[in-house]
Amino acid sequence: MVKCPRCGYENSATATYCDNCAYLLTDHKGNRLNNNKRTSSWNMGVAKKIVIVLGIVVIALLLFSFVYNNSQPSSEEALNVITDNGSLNHSDSYPYTAVVKYDGSWFSRMGDPNYLVDEAGTGQKRVLLDCASWERVHIMAQKEDAGEGNLTIQLLKNGNVVAQNSTTNATGSIEINYNY
């Protein structure tokens, strides 16, 4: 009996070709070939074939992932977010400006009541508020240095004072609620 080096089938001692896979077992003179080494690509083990197929699948998935991620719009583009590059005239879009006047240091919160912005400073400061004309506006200001001077806040809409409040109290805190 001669074992086929390709498929392992037991052939008769006189067989020239494997009865199972037709692999050449003898040369043209009838001598048995030394088939201890596997030379055919069919002799590759099943485990090696599985590793190669899995490698190809992984490479394909990585390539697909790369192409997919690079072809998607950014989060801002996907949400149609408009960003300000400084070319817009904010007074048209945001008509409200807050003015805080105090000779000492002060702290304030101002803007849409659901989205207040902290501001601090010394002396007078004008702050453009991120509020549309139909939104409510809230301004709170407080003295930080317990001074005796006058703390004044003004709300301007399109440049005109629409609300104002002031205090001379040393621990003074004042508010404006507009469009309620």
Instruction: State whether 112 and 173 are in the same domain.
Output: yes
The residue range of the domain holding 122 is: 90-178
Residue 100 forms part of a structural domain: yes
Residue 123 forms part of a structural domain: yes
Q: Which domain-ending residue is among 42, 58, 74?
A: 58
Residue 36 forms part of a structural domain: yes
3-state SS track over 59-82: HHHHHHHHHHHHHCCCHHHHCCCC
Q: Are 178 and 136 in contact (CB under 8 A)?
A: yes
Instruction: State whether 99 and 174 are in the same domain.
Output: yes
Instruction: State whether 105 and 173 are in the same domain.
Output: yes
Tell me which amino acid residue 81 is. Answer: V
Residue 161 forms part of a structural domain: yes
Percentage of the chain lying above the pLDDT 90 cut: 37
Task: Output the pLDDT for position 91.
Answer: 47
Task: Output the pLDDT for position 35.
Answer: 55
Highest mean pLDDT among 32-46, 77-91, 134-148: 134-148
Q: Pick the range with the lowest mean pLDDT from 25-29, 69-73, 110-114.
A: 25-29
78-105 average pLDDT score? 70
Residue 77 forms part of a structural domain: no
Checking if the pLDDT of 173 tops 50, the result is yes
Instruction: State whether 124 and 54 are in the same domain.
Output: no
Instruction: State whether 127 and 174 are in the same domain.
Output: yes
CA distance 163 to 175: 10
Instruction: State whether 106 and 171 are in the same domain.
Output: yes
Helix (H) or strand (E) holding 137: strand 137-143
pLDDT tens track for 106-164 = 999 998 888 888 999 998 999 998 887 778 899 999 998 888 889 999 999 888 999 99
Instruction: State whether 105 and 37 are in the same domain.
Output: no
Residue 69 forms part of a structural domain: no
Number of structural domains (the chain) is: 2
Task: Output the pLDDT for position 95.
Answer: 85
Q: Are 66 and 72 in contact (CB under 8 A)?
A: no
Q: Pick the range with the lowest mean pLDDT from 22-36, 95-109, 122-136.
A: 22-36
Instruction: State whether 99 and 147 are in the same domain.
Output: yes
Q: Give strand pairing partners of 164.
A: 154
Residue 132 forms part of a structural domain: yes
